[in-house]
Structure 1
Amino acid sequence: MKQPIVIIGIGEIGAIFARGFLRLGHPIYPITRDMDMQTESQSIPDPAVVIVAVGEADLHPTLAQLPAVWKSCLALIQNELLPSDWQRHGLNDPSVVSVWFEKKRGQDVKIVVPSPLYGANAALLAASLNTLDIPHYLVHDHDQLLFELVRKNYYILVSNIAGLRVGGTVGALWAQHPELVQAIAHDVHALQQHLTGKTLDHAELLQAMLVAFAGDPEHQCMGRSAPARLQRALQIADAAGLAVPTLRDIAASRS
């Protein structure tokens, strides 16, 4: 029997990877909220990979409780993810997937653009996606990984926050409100530079975000998490002393 796969957080995305690994012949061990990870790790001490696919709000509590025996085979699959998120938990180089496909209950997988995979378990994760014909590619260094993570953050934050003002789809957003997109992206860039401690290429990131807009132009801008994303962005900006005027204007218009 092949090594088991542990998946912490069996939502729609976690279930996609589970389906792929089952097709490869790996037993799947889901970890849900009411299960104790330390106890479970005693029964599964040597998994092939431990996938963390919880929501953004649950990431840090999950990593804080992660059993030591699972840390060396970790793969992270979250939105709004940056290296500082895993480094604060003493995790040096986990595998990472920046997911660019969407799965909603009762619907098939929708592809936006190919998903980048990084790390020691990238080939194994790619094999899972191969069974489902989900496009992906491997990234091989930290700089490229950082670019991919920030690109996804641009996409999520710009589209969600713009959606709070104008609604609609990402295709219509760029076609009808390019000035708003660029203003929000400017604020998001300041946030990302602060969070990464790096000088980032705004023009390249903006263009990469627009490629993703074109990949699924009918994607709705404003998801359920949009208000929380704006609030979280402003909390970061306040703590860092960043102006982010467009984000503040959108928040003020909603109060």
Structure 2
Amino acid sequence: MAASKRKRVKRFIAPLGYTAIPVKFSVKHHSPHYLYVKEHKVREDKNPNRPQNCTLFVLNVPPYCTEECLSRLFSTFCSVESVETCERPTLGVKTEASKTKFFEAKTPLGFHVAYVAFTSPAGVQAALSFSAEEPLEISAKEHLVETGIQKWISQYAASIVDPAELKTEVDAFMQAYDQKVAEEEAKAQENDGVPDEEGWVKVTRKGRRPGLPRTEAASLRALEREKRKRAHKELLNFYAWQHRETKREHIAQLRKKFEEDKQKIALMRAQRKFRPY
């Protein structure tokens, strides 16, 4: 009986405007997964890592496929300059890279999209015209991709911070910050009182005469007053019904005073002798 030939992967019909590239996790897997790619052409995108005519937009990227995996897969078409993954398509300038490894951005957990930038436009054309009998392998002996509990263990081990390394980085950051502040203060002192291009002179609060410091006796008296105010406030209207009764008494006193003022005014009008009409 003749040996059965290996079945060829059928060309998958991709959505309109996209090209389907079959991939599989490893040699053991037979059912392919499809990445949908097209050339990234957006005039509003100002990200320098996405050059025109050299960037490929990738959809349906599985969670286990990292930026390193995508760079390795698409390097078969052309040398890859950079790979950027995100949860959904984004526009705008490139976000500032993190200055420390202890607070890196989290990778997307589910299916995500990617932007693959090649060194030349030939990479985009080669990816769009790709047709292979076998899917591209994500995980192989030379580059294993961790999944399952091994991946969780590696992520947990990577999340543990070395206190000595963190302290070294924090000290270096604070030293650079103190040096920057000192340089700014020295520059401000040099320009103090010097008019700018338009003839204006910057006035600061440093020239004001500082207030006289409190003596120890004055500080003790102020502290004693604060204590008396606090104690009086705590004892006054301790309960809610006391607060209500105090308000009622205050309103009653106001009404009583109002009636007394009305009687005084009526008495003054009665005693007025001059009557012009």
TM-score range, shorter chain: under 0.3
Structure ranking higher in helix proportion: 1
TM-score by length of 2: 0.21
